[in-house]
Amino acid sequence: MTAKKILFVATEAVPFVSTGGLGDVIGSLPAALKKLGGDSFDIRVILPLYKSVDNSWLQKMEKVCETTIPLSWRNQYAGVYSVIKDDVTFYFIDNEYYFSRRFLYGSFDDGERFAYFSKAVIELMPKLDFIPDIIHAHDWQSALSVIYLKNHYLWRKEYSNVKTVFTIHNIEYQGVYGFDIFNDIFDLRPEDRQTVEYGGLINLMKGAIVSCDALTTVSPSYAGEILTPEYSQGLHPVLELNKAKLMGIINGIDINYYNAACDPDIYTNFTADDICGKAKDKEELQKLLGLPEKADTPLITMITRLASHKGVDLLTHAVDELLSKDVQFVLLGTGDYHYEEFFKRLSENYPAKAASLITYNKELSKKIYAAADIFLMPSKSEPCGLAQMIASRYGAVPIVRNVGGLRDTIHEPDNGFTFNHYNSGDMLYAINRALEKYADKDEWQKLVIRVMKTDFSWDVSAKKYAELYDTFA
Ligand code: GLC
Establish whether residue 388 lines the binding site of ligand 1, counting it when its CB lies within 6 angstroms of any ligand atom. Answer: no
364-414 per-position pLDDT tens digit: 999 999 999 999 999 999 999 999 999 999 999 999 999 999 999 999 999
- Give yes or no for residue 407 CB within 6 A of ligand 1: no
CA 471/CA 473 separation, integer angstroms: 6
Ligand 1 atom index nearest CA of 172: 8
From the list 92, 99, 160, the residue with the least C-alpha distance to 121 is: 92
Residue 360 has pLDDT above 90, yes or no: no
Report the pLDDT averaged over residues 254-266.
Answer: 97
Task: Determine the distance separating the centroid of ligand 1 and the alpha carbon of 387, expressed in angstroms.
Answer: 10
CB distance 310 to ligand 1 below 6 Å = no
Q: Check residue 458 and give its pLDDT.
A: 98
Name the residue range of residue 379's domain.
277-453
Q: Where are the beta strands (DSSP E) in 72-115?
A: 74-85, 88-94
β-strands 397-401, 374-377: how paired?
parallel
Q: Is residue 265 part of a domain?
A: no
pLDDT tens per residue, range 45-73: 999 999 999 999 999 999 999 999 999 99
**Residue 418: which CATH number?**
3.40.50.2000
Nearest CA to ligand 1 atom 7: 21
Find out whether the beta carbon of 384 lies less than 6 Å from any atom of ligand 1: yes
What are the tens digits of pLDDT across the range 70-126?
A: 999 999 999 999 999 999 999 999 999 999 998 999 999 999 999 999 999 999 999
Q: What angle do CA 169, 172, 173 make, to 5 degrees?
A: 80
Kindly write down the DSSP assignment for every residue of 392-427, as one continuous string: HHTTPEEEEES-HHHHHH--TTTS-EEE-SSSHHHH
The CB of 383 under 6 Å from ligand 1? The reply is yes
- For the CA of 251, the closest atom of ligand 1 is 12
User: What local confidence, expressed as pLDDT, does residue 403 receive?
Assistant: 98
Residue nearest to atom 12 of ligand 1 (CA): 169
Check pocket membership of 298 for ligand 1, CB cut-off 6 A: no
Counted domains in the chain: 2
The rounded Å distance from CA 408 to ligand 1 centre is 14
**Nearest Cα residue to 219 out of 360, 87, 384, 56:** 384
Could you give the 3-state DSSP secondary structure of residue 47?
Answer: strand
CA distance 67 to 48: 15
Asked, as a colleague might, if the bond just before 378 is cis with ω within 30 of 0, I would say no
Q: Is the CB of 27 under 6 A from ligand 1?
A: no
Average of pLDDT values for 284-295?
98
Ligand 1 neighbour 23 (Cβ under 6 A): no
Residue 410 alpha carbon to ligand 1 centre in Å: 16
172 and 230 housed in the same domain: yes
User: How many whole angstroms from 235 Cα to the centroid of ligand 1?
Assistant: 18
Q: Decide whether any atom of ligand 1 lies within 6 Å of the 251 Cβ.
A: yes
> Is residue 384 a part of any domain in this protein?
yes
The confidence score (pLDDT) of residue 141 equals 98
Same domain, 224 and 310: no
Residue 155 forms part of a structural domain: yes
CB of 139 sitting under 6 A from ligand 1: no
pLDDT at position 1 over 80: no
Q: What separation in Å is there between the alpha carbon of 466 and the centre of ligand 1? A: 20
Say if residue 302 is in the same domain as residue 194: no
Distance 170 CA to ligand 1 centre (A): 6
Cβ of residue 25 lying under 6 Å from some atom of ligand 1:
yes
Average pLDDT over residues 175-184: 97
Q: Are residues 300 and 389 in the same domain?
A: yes
In order, the DSSP letters of 167-204 are: EES-TT---EE-GGGTTTTT---GGGHHHHEETTEEEH
305-324 per-position pLDDT tens digit: 999 999 999 999 999 999 99
Q: Is the CB of 382 under 6 A from ligand 1?
A: yes
Distance 385 CA to ligand 1 centre (A): 5
Considering the domain architecture, whether residues 124 and 153 belong to the same structural domain is answered as yes
Q: Is the CB of 386 under 6 A from ligand 1?
A: yes
Question: Ligand 1 pocket test: which of 138, 140, 251, 360 has the largest number of ligand atoms within 8 Å of its C-beta?
Answer: 251
Q: How far is the CA of 72 from the centre of ligand 1 (A)?
A: 32
CA angle (77, 83, 89) in 5-degree steps: 95
Is the shortest distance between the CB of 18 and ligand 1 below 6 Å? no
Atom of ligand 1 nearest to the CA of 379: 9
Segment holding 273, helix H or strand E: none
For the CA of 386, the closest atom of ligand 1 is 10
Confidence of residue 194 (pLDDT cuts 50, 70, 90): very high
Question: In terms of domains, do 243 and 301 share one?
Answer: no
Does any ligand 1 atom lie closer than 6 A to the CB of residue 170?
yes
Q: Which of 67, 5, 79, 31 is nearest to 252 (CA)?
A: 31
Residues 118 and 212 in one domain: yes
Cα separation, 6 vs 445, whole angstroms: 43
Q: Indicate whether 239 and 286 sit together in one domain.
A: no
Which residues are within 8 A (CB) of 224 and not within 5 positions of it... i.e. 6 or more apart?
248
Q: Per the domain annotation, does 55 fall within a domain?
A: yes
Considering the domain architecture, whether residues 200 and 111 belong to the same structural domain is answered as yes
Q: Answer yes or no: is pLDDT of 162 > 90.
A: yes
* One domain, residues 159 and 283: no
Please list, in sequence order, all residues whose beta carbon lies within 8 angstroms of the beta carbon of residue 12, skipping any fewer than 6 positions away: 18, 19, 20, 22, 23, 26, 47, 104
Residue-averaged pLDDT of the chain: 97
User: 267 lies in a domain?
Assistant: no
* 148 within some domain: yes
Please check whether residue 257 lies inside any domain of the structure.
Answer: no
Ligand 1 contact, 226 CB (< 6 A): no
Gap from CA of 254 to ligand 1 centroid (Å): 15
- C-alpha to C-alpha distances, 352 to 70, 328, 346, 356, nearest whole angstrom: 59, 8, 11, 12
SS3 117: helix
Same domain, 231 and 300: no
Instruction: Calculate ∠ Cα 362-102-44, nearest 5°.
Output: 70
Q: Is residue 263 part of a domain?
A: no
- What percent of the chain has pLDDT above 70? 100
**Are both 348 and 292 inside the same structural domain?**
yes
Ligand 1 proximity of 252 Cβ (cutoff 6 Å): no
Atom number, ligand 1, closest to the C-alpha of residue 167:
12
Q: What is the pLDDT of residue 154?
A: 87
The rounded distance, in Å, linking the Cα atoms of 319 and 288 is: 22
Task: For residue range 430-466, list pLDDT tens digits in order.
Answer: 999 999 999 999 999 999 999 999 999 999 999 999 9
